[in-house]
Amino acid sequence: MNQTDSRAQSRKWLALGLIALAQFMVIMDTSIIGVALPQIREDLGFTQENLTWVFNAYVVVFGGLLLLGGRLSDLFGARRMFGLGWLILLIGSALAGAAANVPVELVGRAVQGVGAALIAPAALTLLMMLFGSTPRDLTRALAVYGAAAPAGGTAGVFLGGLLTEYASWPWVFFVNIPVAVVALLATPALLPGGRGAATGGVDVLGAVTVTLGIGAAVYGIVRAPEVGWGSATTWGTLLASAALLLAFLAIQARRRDPLVRLAIFRTPNLGAANLAQFLLGAAWIPMWFFLNLYLQQVLGLSAFPSGAALIPMTVLIMVGMIVLAPRLIGRFGPKPLVVAGLLLLAVGLGWLALVRPDGTFWIDVLPASLVSALGMALAFIPSLGTALSSARPEEGGLASGIVNTSYQVGSALGLAVATAIAAAAGAGELGDRVALTDGFSAAFVTAAALALAGAVLALVTLRTGAPEAPAESVSVR
């Protein structure tokens, strides 16, 4: 290899580092706020029930606009949308960190979600542009890209504790700003440019209906304990959500250039793998959300120790995803791992439901959290790989957008359901450790039921085996 080729290769791998950083950051922004939530509640005046919207305002917008972000990337160029996404994320982070009241905080989080929805699909498109022509390099690139998501999710918990304890909660948002500046400077130097290859229009109506439909569903479920499950407000909101989502499906079926070509769900295993990702998010996110609250509001740990308490779980999930899961996939195939992982997650969550008002980290948290982390590690990689490898190569970007959407929407709706059940069981009784523990335990039971449902559905719906070539490319994640 001559010097020119060597420089080109080095530039490609530096570009991959920037793409992996993007994936790391957009996922980290879903978890970094966990430890900071009690202080955000006190400073800005959130109630215990609507505190989840600090999470959901980001996730609902992120999940709802992912498909539109992918379409814009195809139309106007991945590098252009990648850079625009970083700029919007920077603005949203500054707004969320500087917020002095609840509405401004939620607007800032929603703006962050818009930025993330542009970054995530563009990142995968750029990766395929750089490495898609060389299968061996593509395998390595997908391994790095795939590891960045769980790394961001788990590292965010610890970093959030560190920043909240030794700086202040706004820094869980401000930390994005210098990273965004570096990304904006590096993007034109490292990433390939050009307009997208797609033609046609932008399905704005489809994006609006799916985002509003998801948001209405989450809002209705979160508000139900306060206004009553049988109230006109609750049923009206949920019916409006159903109508919006049905309208979205109708729009997709009729449009020439839809956000989602509905026929893609006829692809074997694609729907089943996305369902597994949906329920995985629905079980996992309530676990870390309420575990953080238990550590701080019941066990009395401050922000940094409660973040540090999750380091063992963080280490295990990273080792499991990067080292253990790929080897087991090669030996047993993806389906047994998805089923076993979801079952282990259900067991760990059921164990967490036994938490006590006078418990300790070593007995009540550590063992159960490690079992949960192992289950997540085993299930996440094969279900993600199956969702991506099931689609035709020319629809890889769409498949990526769908699986990201499935996980993010599952996270938002799972947290909404768990929050509603926890609030009804006593999670809103601040200062009453017994009532709080009862509420958090109910949330863990709910999450365990969702994980168990995921295991059963994966057992029934996932087919054994996958297309060989794509599976090899993705299974290293």
Same structural domain for residues 85 and 144? yes
Task: Say whether pLDDT at 215 is over 80.
Answer: no
Q: Which of 239, 256, 273 is the last residue of a domain?
A: 256
pLDDT digits (tens, 9 = 90+) for 232-267: 988 999 999 999 999 999 999 988 878 788 888 888
Same structural domain for residues 162 and 307? no
What gap in Å lies between CA 155 and CA 247, rounded to an integer? 38
Residues 6+ apart with CB under 8 A from 63: 117, 214, 404, 405, 408, 409, 411, 412
Same structural domain for residues 207 and 194? no
Q: How many alpha carbons lie under 13 Å from residue 173 in its C-beta half-sphere? A: 27
Same structural domain for residues 227 and 298? no
- 8 Å CB contact between 108 and 96: yes
Looking at per-residue confidence, does 324 or 468 come out higher? 324
Same structural domain for residues 115 and 220? no
pLDDT at 440: 96
pLDDT digits (tens, 9 = 90+) for 84-98: 999 999 999 999 999
Structural domain that includes position 303: 263-477
- 8 Å CB contact between 427 and 38: no
Comparing CA positions, the residue from 162, 152, 150 lying closest to residue 309 is 162
Same structural domain for residues 165 and 275? no
Mean per-residue pLDDT, 308-328: 81
Same structural domain for residues 279 and 182? no
Number of structural domains found in the chain:
3
Q: Please state, rounded to an integer, the average pLDDT across all residues of the chain.
A: 84
Same structural domain for residues 28 and 157? yes
pLDDT at 142: 67
Task: Say whether pLDDT at 474 is over 70.
Answer: no
For the whole model, what pTM was predicted? Answer: 0.81
